[in-house]
Amino acid sequence: MKKRVLSGIRATGRLHLGNYLGAIKGMLALQDDPTYETIYMVADLHAVTTPYKVEELRVNRREVIIDYLAAGLDPEKSILFQQADVSEHAELAFYFSSVMTIARMQHLPTFKEKVKQYPDAATMALLNYPILMSADILVYKAGLVPVGIDQEPHLEISREIARKMNQEYGMDFPEPQRFKTPGEYVPSLTGEGKMSKSVEGSFITLVDDLATIKAKLSKAPTDSGKGDIAQATGGVKALLSFVELFQGADRRKAYEAAYKNEGIRYGDLKHDLAEAIYKELQPIQEKRKAFESDPSRVDQIIAEGSKRARVIAAQTVAEVKEKMGLA
Ligand code: ADP
Ligand code: TRP
């Protein structure tokens, strides 16, 4: 049997370069490797774990599918679907919640951060977030998960759940591992922390045009451009990571050498970098237009994807129910 891969992105807004380099690039690489069966969803259930607007979610859960298709995920090679359309995910999450303690879930760094961000909305859904994510993965018995490094604590939970379900109920769940990409941690354009949808000014989206990319890069903080590279500030460090990701390691080394000698001219660096980023995004944007103008094709892909996903998910849920004494 082919090794299964599962990944998802929350339906909370437009995808950015962090999502693209940390998750989608890995999703694409595994889709094109015939040894894997790839299953990719939009995590719309996860979008309701923090405050949201109904009409925005309705749009976003579809837009993420269009971003996937535009980026090159192919319904002929991968199962593409929306999480809420396969109710087995939520059902399995409930069974899994019986083997995890409240204390374990409360101590997760990701939970603590979100509680800080939304002090009045620390819901049960938020506490259950990693359990639902584990159900997403294990309902397909997937062993490999292309996601950014920030998701590692969640994958640790999925491994714990797999071990517990195997020991207590004799299931055969794999312990999911992260599939890493060179862009597993894309820094914020502000120079502090990671690029994120929820931090204004931190991101470049997949639909940004050249002028927008240039404008966003121009705001990234820099320094005098000269000195000891080891002391380069956040903004400069971030720019150099982007250079490496979009223009290659040699170009980065050349800038690092310039920093120690004649100095870097940030205007030129940002100009060339913007061109390189746009060169990668342009074909994605062209493809997006084609899907936007053919909504029934998108509907058909989504319907077909959830149908295929449900067949696999239903088998796992039936097995779990039987082993837990519920059938
Ligand atoms: P955000 O943090 O912007 O809300 P999500 O949490 O929805 O993004 O992340 C979706 C996917 O993209 C996950 O696999 C996550 O690891 C990856 N990802 C998000 N931000 C980054 C980043 N800055 N660098 C690398 N990967 C990222
Ligand atoms: N938690 C992931 C994120 O914030 C999204 C996600 C939900 C996911 N379910 C998943 C990722 C299953 C991989 C596998 O990006």
Position 325 scores a pLDDT of 98
Q: Could you give the CA distance from residue 87 to residue 302 in angstroms, rounded to a whole number? A: 15
Residue nearest to atom 14 of ligand 2 (CA): 7
Residue with tokens 């998108």: 298
Q: List, in sequence order, every residue forming a beta bridge with 34; answer none if it has no partner.
A: none
Position 305 scores a pLDDT of 98
Whether residue 162 has its Cβ less than 6 Å from ligand 1: no
Note the pTM of the prediction, 2 decimals: 0.95
Whether residue 12 has its Cβ less than 6 Å from ligand 1: yes
Whether residue 150 has its Cβ less than 6 Å from ligand 1: yes
Report which bound ligand comes closest to the CA of 128. 2
Tens-binned pLDDT, residue by residue, of the chain (327 aa): 899 999 999 999 889 999 999 999 999 999 999 999 999 999 999 999 999 999 999 999 999 999 999 999 999 999 999 999 999 999 999 999 999 999 999 999 989 999 999 999 999 999 999 999 999 999 999 999 999 999 999 999 999 999 999 999 999 999 999 999 999 999 999 999 999 988 889 999 999 999 999 999 999 999 999 888 766 778 999 999 999 999 999 999 999 999 999 999 999 999 999 999 999 999 999 999 999 999 999 999 999 999 999 999 999 999 999 999 999
167 CA from centroid of ligand 1 (Å): 32
Name 233's Cβ contacts closer than 8 Å, sequence gap at least 6: 191, 221, 222, 223
Atom of ligand 2 nearest to the CA of 46: 7
CB–CB of 219/235 below 8 Å? no
**Can you identify the CATH homologous superfamily of domain 3-185+294-323?**
HUPs (3.40.50.620)
Identify the CA nearest to 15 among candidates 216, 245, 284: 284
Name 16's Cβ contacts closer than 8 Å, sequence gap at least 6: 195, 196, 197, 203, 204, 205, 206
Position 309 scores a pLDDT of 98
**Best residue for ligand 2 mutational test, from 154, 159, 180 (most atoms within 8 Å of Cβ):** 154
Instruction: Give the residue extent of every domain in the chain.
Output: 3-185+294-323, 210-289
Whether residue 10 has its Cβ less than 6 Å from ligand 1: yes
Position 228 scores a pLDDT of 84
Distance (Å) of CA 161 to CA 102, 251, 291: 14, 44, 38
Identify the CA nearest to 151 among candidates 23, 50, 3, 26: 23
Residue nearest to atom 12 of ligand 1 (CA): 19
257 CA from centroid of ligand 1 (Å): 31
Which residues form the pocket of ligand 2, taking CB atoms under 6 Å from any ligand atom?
Answer: 6-10, 43, 46, 133, 136-137, 145, 147, 151, 154
